[in-house]
Structure 1
């Protein structure tokens, strides 16, 4: 009887330890390369895209920690000679009215011709069906534009993106506009933010970019992403430059007035997410957000460099980590997590 009692205790101890033993972990980055990462959570799937430069590729996984081994498919390759044939940047997949849409920045000759283009797929499965080019989405003045993200808020679609005020001024601002439908702006753009804080103005550029013997300054606000929490609405954006100390800034909707009224937004006086050299993470930016599969955890995704001198190339890789909320309802992103094992996003 005593032996049986000891055996029962041993079995119970092993059973109680099993959840801990079975807990899966991952280590950032979640794949070796992936500038401008984006995640859409739809049903039981996470759909992921990032900048490839030459096409739009879509990944699908049930847990973002498994992205490196996820199913993938190239869903769009532009024909040569098209105005969207080169430098495909920052694609985002969205789902509105039972259709899939991808917003991607592209040009035909060089960066000066960058605009945002919209693809549509009516298939229930975005990995299947045909992706059709709906056309260019832009403001009345057809200004330079990149990094568009789209959100439905209280029954209205809105788009936010990074653009120039003039044709070639180089300073990147954050603009917003309402949408008539997923591929057409409703009215003209409105500027919500420009890089006017000292921490947004570290705009030194590489020596080879000098013009007429002078090295210009380029100040950057880009990569705006909407973030909702309870009754709060935010835009998280990237500041400085990808070849410098890239970081995240925050715009907070006051809850009063139209979203397209700049007076309805407040800019945080300091960055909300900065690099952590002590953890081997430099120039974090282009943040996005998703929930764990059980809906209990908030996670962020961003790209970062493995050293201070890696610039804006393919060494930028996607990282994910959980985040929390401050007492006033604003996000608390902490700092970039070290490249050590951590628990995967919680599953159902």
Structure 2
């Protein structure tokens, strides 16, 4: 399959897309525009995910720490069970933690578990907050299993480091409990990572050809949003920051020539031929009317990520082949905060 055979968007108006291929089925989740639920779709082909029925597997609480702004769910399969990692906030309102620091939201990382065979019809149980070691803004958790050991990678703020979030890794005792202290792998430092916001977020891990690839996204969520990359040998210790090499330049960026802006917050899957597929969200215009948080038109897209001589060739976003909305059609629920970038 070539990349032009994947019709884009694969799902309309779903930011932070995560696609998991399990057997001959693709499972899709992503941030719902109202940030009030976690949804799943399933299809046997990537191009059928848009038409697939969307199932709500969890809704936000009426009050408490999981009552607002449900962000970036990811579905993973670990030891025969299903897990969804997501971020939630008690209020949705940003807070200045101390003078001189950037304002951030108040999210933490949480986990759902389903031990039934079918994650859509099965029962999902809350496993609670992942204790990452300290209580600050935390989000965008992803997971991977290497040599039978599960690891968690996530974004979190350290008040001693300038910016909104850095990326951390830890080994897991079980899918909702860390077994080791958090280790920082990367922080915003390059110019392309510090536009509008100082951010490293949205990690995703690909294991291929004896290498570990850890992609992430940086900067604000507009045209400046772009993807970076850390690389390590597969036989290295993922918890050793020295094992990872960080690319000083972004690997995937906006391309005005094809009308795709702010590509990022990706996941990896594969097609029926075993080729790696890059899944990401992007917008098709640069002028956003109103609060960017509630602008719903980040479309979930996918394209084959070619490998040449064992190295990924990132290229540029492909143009859309399906129509996508170009105006704000979803407004925040009554009482939700209006925030400005």
TM-score by length of 1: 0.83
Distance 1:59 1:225 in 2: 20
Structure 1 range deviating more: 136-145 or 228-237: 136-145
Question: Partner of 1:337 in structure 2?
Answer: 318
Matched, 1:186 2:179: yes
Question: Partner of 1:109 in structure 2?
Answer: 91
Cα root mean square deviation, aligned: 1.8
Distance 1:318 1:168 in 2: 32
Structure that is richer in helix per residue? 1
Structure showing greater radius of gyration is: 1
Question: Partner of 1:15 in structure 2?
Answer: none
Change (3 A) 1:266 1:83: same
Question: Partner of 2:191 in structure 1?
Answer: 198
Question: Partner of 2:118 in structure 1?
Answer: 125
Structure 1 range deviating more: 235-244 or 155-164: 235-244
Matched, 1:64 2:64: no
Question: Partner of 2:7 in structure 1?
Answer: 27
Q: CA deviation at 1:269?
A: 1.6
Cα contact 1:249–1:270 (8 A) shared by 2: yes
Structure 1 residues 9-24: aligned runs within 5 Å: none
Change (3 A) 1:186 1:175: same
Matched, 1:235 2:214: yes
Distance 2:272 2:53 in 1: 18
Q: CA deviation at 1:198?
A: 1.8
Distance 2:11 2:19 in 1: 14
TM-score by length of 2: 0.84
Q: Deviations over 1:192-225 (max 9, x none)?
A: 001111221212xxxxxxxxxxxxxx21110000
Distance 1:256 1:289 in 2: 21
Q: Deviations over 1:116-163 (max 9, x none)?
A: 100011110001121110110031223321000000011111000111
Count of aligned positions: 302
Q: Deviations over 1:298-327 (max 9, x none)?
A: 211110011112345311011111121132
Cα contact 1:254–1:266 (8 A) shared by 2: no
5+ residue gaps, structure 1: 1-23, 204-217, 342-348
Structure 1 residues 72-83: aligned runs within 5 Å: 72-83=54-65
Q: CA deviation at 1:257?
A: 4.2
- Find runs of 4+ consecutive structure 1 residues off by over 3 angstroms: 24-27, 167-170, 254-257
Distance 2:241 2:119 in 1: 35
For 1:302, which of 280, 287, 291 is the aligned residue? 280
Cα contact 1:104–1:117 (8 A) shared by 2: yes
Secondary structure class of the residue paired with 1:141: coil
